[in-house]
Amino acid sequence: MSNGSYRNEILLLTHGGWGETLVDKLTMIIGQIKGVSEIALNPSDSPEDFLLKVEEKIKTMPANSLVITDIVGGTTSNMALMLSKKYDIHILSGLSSMMLIEAVMRQNQPYTEDSVNEIKEAAIMNCQQLKLPAEDQAK
């Protein structure tokens, strides 16, 4: 990747701020990560406090930035959804390693409905129940 190439912003919203650890450890797989920031929902934050913090950040982000939340139906997701009325953002819930990897790999293009959907599909594909193949009984 060429240095200084433009990267679209990704904002992570997680309970307690675990996304930061994820970003830190994912460098082991994909190298340096840039343009990813996080706002933690702390136990004492009211939804209003949290909303203000997130809005301060989203205000500064270009249109079509990507917001990734952890739990669907959680305060992180509810507040992102609220802000999507006022700001042009894409939101994905269910932050996971593969979701973030896919999102980071698409950072050099503005996020679109389609690319966000591809990120979602990749994250879903990565979630599988792993089993050894059944032994071939017919032999």
Partner 1 sequence: MAEIEMVRVDFRLIHGQVITKWIRQTFANRIIIIDDNLANDEFMKSIYTMAAPSNIAVNVYTVESAINEWKEDKLGKGKLFILFKDVDTAFKTIQGGIEIKDLQIGGLGSGPGRKSVFGPISLNEEDAEQLRELEESNNCRVYLHQVPDEPKMEFKKALDKFYSLKK
Contacts of 13 (CB under 8 A, 6+ apart): 19, 38, 39, 41, 54, 67, 68, 69, 70, 76, 77, 79, 80
* Closest to partner 1 by CB, 78 or 97: 78
Q: In the bound complex, what is the minimum distance in angstroms from residue 102's beta carbon to partner 1?
A: 24
Q: In the bound complex, what is the minimum distance in angstroms from residue 74's beta carbon to partner 1?
A: 4
* Closest to partner 1 by CB, 23 or 83: 83
Q: Is residue 15 a contact residue for partner 1 (CB under 8 A)?
A: yes
Q: In the bound complex, what is the minimum distance in angstroms from residue 72's beta carbon to partner 1?
A: 8
Q: In the bound complex, what is the minimum distance in angstroms from residue 47's beta carbon to partner 1?
A: 5
Give the x/- contact pattern for partner 1 in 90-129, rule: CB under 8 A: ----------------------------------------
Task: Find the binder of partner 1 among 26, 81, 91, 122 (CB under 8 A).
Answer: 81
Give the x/- contact pattern for partner 1 in 39-68, rule: CB under 8 A: ----xxxxx-x-------------------
Q: Which two tokens stand for residue 125?
A: 């594909």
User: Which DSSP letter does residue 37 get?
Assistant: E
Amino acid occupying residue 118: E
Nearest residue to 69 via CA among 103, 45, 94, 102: 94
Cβ neighbours of 12 (radius 10 Å): 24
Contacts of 2 (CB under 8 A, 6+ apart): none
User: Distance of CA 124 to CAs 1, 109, 112, 133, Å?
Assistant: 26, 22, 18, 21
Q: Which residues bind partner 1 (CB under 8 A)?
A: 15, 43-47, 49, 70-78, 81-82, 85
